[in-house]
A and B are shown apart, each in its own frame.
Chain A
Amino acid sequence: MNSREQILAKVAANQSATLSLPADVTFTPDGDVLETFKAVALAVGSKLFEVNQVSEIPGMITEQFPFAKRIVSPLPEMAVIAETDLAGINDPHTLKDVDLAILQPHFAVAENSAAWITEDRMGQRIVPFICQHLAIIVPVQDIVATMHQAYERIANADYGFGGFIAGPSKTADIEQSLVLGAHGPRSMTIFLVR
């Protein structure tokens, strides 16, 4: 017997009689979804800007990130300030000097300010992690209350890679002092589109 068969046989022999799978639970908290989102996003260290149109964003970015030499974004609306042909990149290492990436996730979650994004919206998988700063665009109608609604929305989507991102990368490994900018972006800016 190889290890696979051995392990499976032992598991089958040792597991208990089947216990039932509990019914699905879902909760919708009281409270305004947008207000909750904003409060939690600030609490986890994100910066927030509210705009009326996506077209306002490039100008605000130029203002907020004057130091950014290399800006990337798969969004055509950002072409005035960013490289947008990311899908054509063969070697993700060439993105090592990206100062700012601008992405639009599918939606965000109020209870933890996490934004769900799949690789087709990243340009390259490494983009939201390797950039020094990350900005995301979230239309206010694309905010759900909790992770229950989030997974209802994701449902059985087919993706190669997807993830929730909540705030800038961080660590508190040294005496529990919070430091923003561990290995991923040093900052997270959220543009809420009304």
Chain B
Amino acid sequence: MNSEQKEHAGLAETFNKDEDRVNWHDETLWWIRQKRDKSAHNIPEWETLRNTASAIKNHVLSNLHNYLVEFEANAKANGIIVHWAANAQEHNQIVHGILKEHGITQMVKSKSMLTEECHLNEYLAQQGVDVIDSDLGERIVQLAKEPPSHIVLPCIHKKKEEIGEIFHENLGTPAGVSDPQVLTETARQHLRETFLTRKVALTGVNFAIAETGDFVVCTNEGNADMGAHLSDVHIACMGIEKLIPKRRHLAIFLRLLTRSATGQPITTYSSHFRKPRPGQQMHLVLVDNGRSTQLGRPDFRNSLKCIRCGACMNTCPVYRRSGGHSYHSAIAGPIGSILAPNLDMRQYADLPFASTLCGSCSNVCPVKIDIHDQLYKWRQVIVKEGYGNKAKGVGLKVMNWTLSSPGAYHTAGKLGRAVMRIAPFAVNNPLNPWYKHREMPQAPKESFGEWYKKNRK
């Protein structure tokens, strides 16, 4: 498919053909959002943590040059080989160069949205390198020949029966087996063999510490560690925005990250890599790929604060009902819709319009990115730059999907909750008692009514 022709409205319509699936997807993500709420409400200082995290990230972005230099010097002193990649292509070439140097044609990779963004797997496949994704969800979508549909929950769009089918075809489970326990055990056995036989492991990076040169990788499955500690060569790839100044700042970010993502108090593993194991080579690739450009857009630069928790997707009424693939970009949902137009305004002109501007995303964001404001601002930029055509009609369709949720109104008791879930934008009314709830979105700059009228033309 020519990616230039992809647009949110058409892709979401495809997803919406299966109404049961849409309702299930919607409810599953809302359930995760509720787990996030419960977890956040358990921490009385939650808002202080968010404010502090946001201020630390703003500070880093305003002093990024020096932090990059400091981090590089410390990482090198720790024995790590540091590379710089201006764009996706250079990133892919660097990784391939390391593999070639070691004569390696097989690699195991843990979750890294950056390598999705750079299309590393496709690139390496063309060079004859076989990459196995080791995160269970990523392995599933890889076997299905699909991209992840969510940054934290890569195969959230798939039913267990479909996963059973994929495993039957690829990993030899009996037909019809769909028990998550059995499927996970199968993947465990299959990937254990992979971990034990691959000499090169690639991981992502959640946080990098300028002061010490540590980089931190968070997983629940333990797949990043299984790959990295068994490998002769560990390659870690990170966007230049992942830096934080001090090790102690991790306290704030690790308290926020997983509670925002899934409601867990922390991931099972928060691994701090600092020096290669004796005899091991450790590479770190610092990737720009448009980030320095975004840094120069005052209206959008603070999107670089994102710690990739996925909370904005789980809460988004449009994401929940249109599915991650409808965003036709490595990072879906509200934050993806801000990051993608920076990379290619024409190709992603539709994404900032795939939102109701309800503001629910900004309200849950652990680093307080003003996501819905930025979506609104992108719309103006896109129309001014002459890319408005692609966006036409998206707004109206967005309203149709988010409001057409037949399953949700079955009982009157569910109604209040359902309105919040289905149409958080409809309750920006001070007379509404729900309005006082502290997670309520603030009114968007443009009222929904005005926006709807403008966009239905």
Interface of chain A residues 111 through 166 with chain B (CB within 8 A):
111-114, 124-126, 129-130, 146-148, 150-152, 154, 156, 159-166
Any A CB within 8 A of the CB of B247: yes
* CA of A20 to CA of B317, assembled, Å: 36
Contact B48 A184 (CB under 8 A): no
* Interface flag for A24 (CB, 8 Å): yes
B136 touches A171 (CB 8 A): yes
* Among B58, B134, B293, residue most surrounded by chain A Cβ atoms (within 10 Å): B58
For this complex, into which size category does the number of interface residues on chain B fall? 35 or more
Quick check: B269 and A163 within 8 Å, CB to CB?
Answer: yes
B255 lies within 8 A of A129 (CB):
no
Residue among A20, A124, A159 making CB contact with B274, cutoff 8 Å: A159
A111 touches B265 (CB 8 A): yes
Alpha-carbon separation in the docked complex, A185 to B220 (Å): 11
Q: Digit string of B194-213 for contact with A (CB within 8 Å is 1, else 0)?
A: 01100000000000000010
Contact A93 B230 (CB under 8 A): yes
A80 CB-CB contact with B under 8 Å = no
Nearest-CB distance from A126 to chain B (Å)?
A: 4
Q: How many A-B residue pairs have CB under 8 A?
A: 235
Chain B nearest CB: distance from A157 CB in Å?
9
Interface centre among A7, A21, A150 (most CB of B within 10 A): A7
In-complex Cβ contact of A10 among B45, B181, B288, B298 (8 A)? B288
Q: Judge whether A161 and B274 touch: CB under 8 Å.
A: yes
A3-B84, A13-B296, A96-B196 known; A146 and B226 CB under 8 Å? no
Q: Could you say which residues of chain A place their CB within 8 Å of the CB of B37?
A: none
Residue-wise, chain A 9-29 has the 8 Å CB interface mask toward B (1 for contact) of: 011111111111110111101
Whether B370 sits at the interface, judged by CB under 8 Å, is no
- Stretch in A52-60, A63-71, A98-106, A173-181 touching the partner: A173-181
Let me know if A92 and B185 touch, CB within 8 A: no
Contact indicator per residue, chain B 412-449, by CB within 8 Å of chain A (1) or not (0):
00000000000000000000000000000000000000
B55 is an interface residue with CB less than 8 A from chain A: yes
The answer to whether B286 touches A183 (Cβ under 8 A) is no
Does B366 touch A at the CB level, under 8 Å?
Answer: no
B301 interface contact, C-beta 8 A: yes
Q: How far is the CA of A170 from the CA of B185 in the complex (A)?
A: 11
Cβ–Cβ < 8 Å partners of B196 in chain A: 93, 96
Cβ distance B55 to chain A, nearest Cβ, rounded Å: 4
Cβ of B175 to closest chain A Cβ, rounded Å:
17
Which secondary structure dominates chain B's binding surface? Answer: helix
Q: Check if A130 sits within 8 Å of B275, measured CB to CB.
A: no
Q: A18 touching B265 by the CB < 8 A rule?
A: no
Interface centre among B51, B153, B248, B298 (most CB of A within 10 A): B248
Q: Are B247 and A129 in contact (CB under 8 A)?
A: no
Q: Are B265 and A44 touching (Cβ within 8 A)? A: yes
A52–B163 Cα distance when bound, in Å, is 47
B52 located at the interface, meaning its Cβ lies under 8 Å from any Cβ of chain A in the complex = yes
Bound-state CA distance A126–B224 (Å) is 11
A173 & B137 in contact (Cβ 8 Å cutoff):
yes
**Contact status of A161 and B271, CB under 8 A, knowing A25-B48, A179-B181, A182-B221:** yes
If A15-B63, A44-B264 are given as contacts, then 5 extra A-B residue pairs at C-beta distance below 8 Å, sorted by A number, are A10-B293, A15-B62, A126-B230, A160-B276, A183-B221
Name A's B-contacting residues (CB within 8 A). Answer: 2-4, 6-8, 10-22, 24-27, 29, 40, 44, 92-93, 96, 111-114, 124-126, 129-130, 146-148, 150-152, 154, 156, 159-177, 179, 181-185
Enumerate 27 A-B pairs (CB-CB under 8 Å) in ascending A order. Answer: A7-B286, A10-B288, A16-B62, A18-B59, A22-B52, A25-B49, A96-B196, A111-B265, A129-B269, A130-B230, A147-B251, A147-B266, A151-B248, A156-B212, A159-B274, A161-B275, A166-B265, A170-B221, A170-B268, A173-B135, A173-B153, A175-B159, A176-B156, A177-B181, A181-B185, A183-B195, A184-B225
A-binding residues in B (CB < 8 A)? 28, 31-32, 44-45, 48-49, 51-52, 55-56, 58-59, 61-65, 68-69, 84-86, 90, 134-137, 140, 153-156, 159-160, 163, 180-181, 183-185, 188, 191-192, 195-196, 212, 220-223, 225-226, 229-230, 240, 245, 247-248, 250-252, 254-255, 262, 264-277, 286, 288, 292-293, 295-296, 298, 301
User: Which 6 A-B pairs rank lowest in CB-CB distance, beginning with the nearest?
Assistant: A184-B222, A14-B296, A182-B221, A112-B265, A173-B137, A160-B275
